[in-house]
Amino acid sequence: MHRSGPAMAWNVFKFCTALRGLGSIMILLVLGVVGVTYYAVVLTNYGPALYDGGLDSLIAFAVLISFHCLLVMLLWSYFSVVLTDPGSVPPNWRPAVDEERAEGDPLNTMEFSILHPELSNQRIRYCRKCNHLKPPRCHHCSVCGRCVLKMDHHCVWVVNCVGALNYKYFLLFLLYTFLETSVVTLSLLPHFIAFFSEGEIPGTPSTLATTFIAFVLNLAFALSVMGFLIMHISLVAANTTTIEAYEKKTTPKWRYDLGRKRNFEQVFGMDKRYWLIPAYSDEDLRRMPALQGLEYPSKPELESQEF
């Protein structure tokens, strides 16, 4: 029993190291699924159908346009999640309020409680692994080996943590993956049904097998991603993360819930023109420190309820 603790800690460390090593494999897997799907939809079925004329050409054109538009948004969102740092704690970070007050813990003073009622029950936390203070909603990721701002989870599919700076991109990746796989599933459904018909099916064995595999893969992804998308939309609506979901259930009133509209604005930005693309407006980028939890809102900001 005495040796089980160190052994368990060593095994967990090895597991985290293995997850970190999956990086290039998972990216290649995603690109492989995209490649198989592209071959089945564009090169095998609907690309040649453009030259059939009549209604078949019109349907093929509509499928190809929607397929390529969604594919561009999917890949843009995916690589935005992969390449964007989720948010790291700046070196020697300290709460701005703490710098203005020399005495005691600023989060326990009466003045701070009056000015910031939604933050008054928090205490400044310290990460023993990173050896620095932790902003609110910051958690340590064992896979990345660092603290991540507003960490939601570490996702092996995107080879990155999902946190304050790339959570929007992750949600858009889920959205466009669901839409893309749904379009592919519906467009390949007639060809999939043809496999079980008694008539002769046009195409070589390799193209038929690719179509079959693409349909099954996209159907599986559409159903699974739909569940994740619904879950994360509900989390955004309540202004919580996957890690905080249990904590929220044990708290009478969730202190970060600002109302559904402002909760979505905190993730997607104030400018709704940017909500469906993996980018932020210049004004939203200026407000990022407050969204990350690195800066506490001032009294006028609380009254105007901008965040």
How many residues are listed for the chain in this entry?
307
Cα 174 to Cα 169: distance, rounded to the nearest angstrom: 9
pLDDT at 9: 40
* Element containing residue 11 per DSSP (H, E): helix 4-20
Per DSSP, helices labelled H in 160-287 are 167-194, 205-237, 245-249, 260-268, 282-286
> Mean pLDDT for each 10-residue chunk of the chain (307 residues)?
43 50 79 95 92 88 97 97 91 62 40 42 75 87 89 91 94 98 95 76 79 95 96 94 83 84 92 94 80 49 37
Residues 277-292 as b or e (16 or more Cβ within 10 Å = b): ebebeeebeebeebbb
- 149: nearest Cα among 298, 290, 22, 306: 290
Cα 68 to Cα 180: distance, rounded to the nearest angstrom: 9
pLDDT at 109: 38
Cα 163 to Cα 139: distance, rounded to the nearest angstrom: 10
pLDDT at 198: 62
Map residue 254 onto helix, strand or coil: coil
Catalytic residues: 155
Q: In this structure, what token pair is assigned to residue 270?
A: 């104030």
Map residue 88 onto helix, strand or coil: strand
pLDDT at 119: 45
Virtual torsion, Cα 293, 168, 142, 92, nearest 10 deg: -30
Q: In this structure, what token pair is assigned to residue 45?
A: 């079925």
Cα 97 to Cα 22: distance, rounded to the nearest angstrom: 41
pLDDT at 245: 86
Q: In this structure, what token pair is assigned to residue 70?
A: 């969604």
* Element containing residue 231 per DSSP (H, E): helix 205-237
